[in-house]
Amino acid sequence: MTFKVINKYLQENNRTFVAIRQDAPYTAFDRVLIGNLVNESDEELIKAVIGQVTTEFNPADGVKKLQEDLRTQAESYEEKLAEKDAKIAEVKAVADWAVLARVTDVDNPLDPTVFKRGLELVDPAKTGKTYQSQEIFTLEDVNHVEKFQEGKRVMIQVNEPFTYQGETLEQLATLEQNGKLGIWKWTEPKQEKPSNELDTQPIQ
């Protein structure tokens, strides 16, 4: 059977009237579909009308098809969601790596406000989560007093698999001594002392 859409228009209450016809044998179906479907392809509209007609004449098959369609839609949604989560995780990993590389560059210390902003992009520690080598997370140093708008967050760098169980910074310091973790705080750059000696050169 080959159907054609001969009419379609949007009605009130967000419903779409669709009329389809077939020449041989002559068959006509007019149905009102839920939603604004005027921009859908004729193929999709024909499928929607025939699906509704099938449900009306054979409710059992209609319900079965509806369940199959819902399952297919759910699987497609889950796949798209998984792809989205994977892309987000990939971007997050790159961002964390950039923060790690910059914060640990002790020869070129960050501006305190940039340090604060960078650590705000890193996820806080999650109790029960196992972090793998080179992953990072942050903790808040509640005892720290800001002087240069550097924030209260401290970056923790994991050097081997580690499960965070709610330890405080003081408790993590022991693991830092054992080389299992790295604790990175913003530190004020050392000021070079001006030399009081004159730069003299011997007379030739």
The pLDDT tens digits of the residues spanning 45-84 come to: 999 988 888 777 766 666 666 677 777 777 777 888 888 8
> Is 13 a domain residue?
yes
Per-residue confidence (pLDDT) for residue 19, from 0 to 100: 95
Enclosing H/E stretch for 174 = helix 169-177
> Is 107 a domain residue?
yes
The pLDDT tens digits of the residues spanning 16-56 come to: 999 999 988 888 999 999 889 999 999 999 999 888 887 77
The answer, yes or no, to whether residue 171 has pLDDT greater than 80, is yes
Question: Does 177 lie in the same domain as 119?
Answer: yes
Number of domains in the chain: 2
Question: Does 43 lie in the same domain as 107?
Answer: no
> Is 87 a domain residue?
no
Enclosing H/E stretch for 63 = helix 59-103
SS (H, E, C) 182-201: EEECCCCCCCCCCCCCCCCC
> Is 190 a domain residue?
no
Mean pLDDT for the chain?
84
Cα four-point dihedral sign 115, 140, 181, 133: negative
Question: pTM to 2 decimals?
Answer: 0.51
Question: Does 169 lie in the same domain as 120?
Answer: yes
Q: Which domain covers residue 40, as residue numbers? A: 4-57
